[in-house]
Every structure is written in structure tokens, then in C-alpha cells.
Amino acid sequence: MGMLQRDGRILAAPVPGTSADILQGAIAQNVELGSTISTDEHKSYHGLRFGYEHGVVTHSAKEYVRGKHHVNSLESHWSLFKRAVKGTHVHISSKHAWKYVSEFSYRRNMRQSHWAMFNLLVHAFALPRLEEN
């Protein structure tokens, strides 16, 4: 799942499913009430009209923009991510998907400042490591 602020940062992560509880819960945790949200027509987004200005584009009807609403920037992010995975790793396991999604999101968020990206990565080497099961 990904959330992208227009002309801003992306927040993306694997989610355990696509139910309304999961998707709307993630949105509620990360998007301020009253914000404008644009989604595709997935049925799990239908309750978003309560608390948000929610606009929908209907991809199944070949609609990609409706007024100010579109999800093209986020679709572009996922397209580039998929091509990067296929071109470099061929396949990634679901266990480690969060690492790849996080790295790619980090690169997108830091794309305007390669020097800052490098410095943050170097400083991250000094942080304690998570142990994996």
C-alpha cells in the first residue's frame, strides 16, 4: 500500500490484506482528517467519504483523472518499483518485501538531495540492528 502527498513524500509498506479495515486503518493512522484523498475504485476505500474529501477514479472504465483527483504519481512509483525488482532481483520474498519497499520509498523521498541520502545512510550503519526471525 502506498500513500503519496502531492509534490511531497511517499509512505509505502506491504500490508497483510486489502480489506477496508486494513486499508482505511492505515489511512486513518497516517492521513489527517479533512484531507483530500484520491483513490482508485477498490471497494475497500468506499467508507473514506466520512472524514475526508474522497475522490475516485475508475480505472476499469479507463478513467485516470477526474478533476483534481488521480493516482498517477503513485501508480508511477509502483511501476518503477516493479521494474527495479525485476531488473535487479527478479523476485523478492514476502518476508523481506518491507525492506525493498522501504528502500525504494527512501530513494524517492531523497531524490532531490543525493548528498543527504548518502549521509543518512552512513549514519544508519551506527544504529542497532534488528534481529530477524
Stretches in the chain below the pLDDT threshold 70? 132-133
* Residue with cell string 527512501: 106
- Give the chain's mean pLDDT: 91
pLDDT score, position 132? 66
Q: What is the pTM of this model?
A: 0.80
pLDDT score, position 47? 86
The Cα angle at residue 4 between residues 108 and 35, in degrees rounded to 5: 155
User: CA-CA distance, 2 to 77, in Å (whole number)?
Assistant: 9
Listing DSSP states for the chain in one string gives -EEE-TTS-EEE---S---HHHHHHHHHHHS-TT-EEEE-S-GGGGGGGTTSEEEE--GGGT--EETTEE-HHHHHHHHHHHHHHHHHTS---TTTHHHHHHHHHHHHHTTT-HHHHHHHHHHHTTSPPPPP-
